């Protein structure tokens, strides 16, 4: 399984390298959000009790998570296109592990969003963000992004197998991005939220991922906050990956 996963992962990497504009296109929206919201909500930092010196420092972890959502939530679309082209059926009659077919796709999507998030982080620094420059803390933040990328790529691939159509998958992708972002502290601190939104955030995996990244990239890292967020994100990614692999194993049975 590991050998098959590595081989297929490299295949998808080569495909991405042949079409780099597609990867850059999914990077545009987070960069636009970073610039627009960073400017639009600039004076939020002047409000009493705001947890950061500048809004962009507060928003950077949120836009990193946005990068994951915009990059992974539609990963299943390419799977549907491969199914339509007959590529997946050819893989199924080969000795390749079914688990590897899913794992390779999910890992490729997750690694891609880690690279994109790294570019967004550099752009944030260029805009004046003062988040941590410590390479260890940055790697820990990227580990959360990798796990979240695995989770949403797995969700998208699992839904693609279940729905078998591109249109409802795109609708589900939209439902997995914007509402989850707004029901978290990605853009607005918890103390400024209505109580009912804060209550939803307790069961929102995005909230825990944002908290983990924000805790570890802060000027004074909160390792306890990071550990809690990392743990929840890890369990979420493990559960969604298991579900996606299980759904794919029943495909064509």
Average pLDDT over residues 59-78: 86
Q: What is the pLDDT of residue 117?
A: 92
Judge whether residue 215 has pLDDT over 70. Answer: yes
Q: What is the pLDDT of residue 154?
A: 92
Both tokens of 213, joined, read: 């990244």
Tens-digit pLDDT profile for residues 170-192: 787 777 788 888 888 888 888 88
pLDDT range class, residue 238, cuts 50, 70, 90: very high
Q: What is the pLDDT of residue 253?
A: 57
d(CA 70, CA 188): 19
Classify residue 132 as left (phi > 0), alpha (psi -120 to 50) or beta: beta
Q: What is the mean pLDDT of the chain?
A: 85
User: For the chain, what percent of residues have pLDDT higher than 70?
Assistant: 97
Q: What is the pLDDT of residue 213?
A: 95
Average pLDDT over residues 201-210: 90
Q: pTM of the prediction? A: 0.90
Q: What is the pLDDT of residue 22?
A: 67
DSSP string computed for the chain: -HHHHHHHHHHHHHHHHH-HHHHHHHHHHHHHHHHHHHHHTGGGGGSTT-SSSSHHHHHHHHHHHHHHHHHHTTHHHHHHHHHHHTHHHHHHTSS--HHHHHHHHHHHHHHHHHHHHHHHHHHHHHTT------HHHHHHHHHHHHHHHHHHHHHHHHHHHHH--HHHHHHHHHHTTHHHHHTTTSSS-GGGS-HHHHHHHTT-HHHHHHHHHHHHHSSS--HHHHHHHHHHHHHHHHHHHHHHHHHHHTTT-
């Amino acid at each position: 399984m590991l050998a098959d996963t590595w081989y297929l992962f490299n295949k998808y990497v080569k495909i991405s390298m042949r079409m780099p504009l597609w990867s850059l296109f999914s990077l545009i929206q987070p960069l636009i959000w970073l610039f627009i919201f960073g400017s639009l909500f600039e004076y939020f930092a002047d409000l009493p009790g705001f947890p950061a010196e500048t809004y962009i420092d507060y928003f950077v972890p949120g836009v990193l998570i946005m990068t994951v959502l915009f990059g992974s939530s539609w990963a299943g679309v390419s799977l549907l296109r491969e199914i339509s082209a007959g590529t997946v059926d050819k893989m199924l009659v080969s000795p390749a592990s079914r688990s590897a077919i899913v794992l390779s796709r999910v890992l490729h999507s997750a690694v891609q969003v880690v690279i994109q998030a790294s570019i967004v982080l550099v752009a944030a620094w260029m805009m004046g963000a003062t988040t941590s420059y410590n390479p260890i803390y940055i790697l820990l933040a990227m580990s959360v992004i990798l796990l979240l990328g695995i989770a949403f790529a797995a969700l998208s691939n699992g839904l693609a197998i279940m729905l078998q159509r591109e249109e409802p998958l795109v609708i589900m992708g939209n439902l997995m991005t914007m509402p989850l972002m707004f029901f978290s502290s990605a853009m607005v601190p918890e103390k400024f939220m209505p109580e009912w939104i804060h209550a939803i955030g307790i069961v929102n995996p995005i909230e825990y991922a944002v908290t983990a990244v924000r805790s570890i990239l802060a000027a004074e890292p909160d390792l306890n906050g990071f550990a809690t967020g990392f743990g929840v994100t890890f369990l979420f990614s493990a559960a969604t990956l298991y579900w996606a692999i299980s759904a794919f194993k029943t495909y064509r049975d």
